[in-house]
Chain A
Amino acid sequence: KAGVTQTPRYLIKTRGQQVTLSCSPISGHRSVSWYQQTPGQGLQFLFEYFSETQRNKGNFPGRFSGRQFSNSRSEMNVSTLELGDSALYLCASSLPDAEKLFFGSGTQLSVL
Chain B
Amino acid sequence: DQQVKQNSPSLSVQEGRISILNCDYTNSMFDYFLWYKKYPAEGPTFLISISSIKDKNEDGRFTVFLNKSAKHLSLHIVPSQPGDSAVYFCAASRNNAGNMLTFGGGTRLMVKP
Contacts and interface: CB of A to CB of B under 8 A. Distances in A.
Interface of A: 4, 31, 33, 35, 40-45, 48, 50, 55-56, 58, 90, 92, 94, 96-106
A100 to B, nearest CB: 5
B45 A56 contact: no
A3 to B, nearest CB: 9
Nearest to A4: B43
Given A42-B89, A106-B43, A99 B105 contact: no
A99 B45 contact: no
Interface string B71-113: 0000000000000000001010100011111111110000000
Given A56-B100, A98-B99, 15 more contacts: A31-B98, A33-B101, A40-B105, A42-B105, A42-B106, A43-B44, A43-B91, A43-B101, A44-B103, A45-B103, A56-B99, A99-B32, A103-B43, A105-B41, A106-B43
Contacts of B42: 105
B34 interface: yes
Contacts of A41: 105
A94 B93 CA distance: 14
Counting chain B residues whose Cβ lies within 8 A of the other chain, the interface size class is 20 to 34
6 contacts: A41-B105, A48-B100, A97-B99, A100-B46, A103-B44, A105-B43
Nearest to B4: A42
Interface of B: 32, 34, 36, 41-46, 49, 89, 91, 93, 97-106
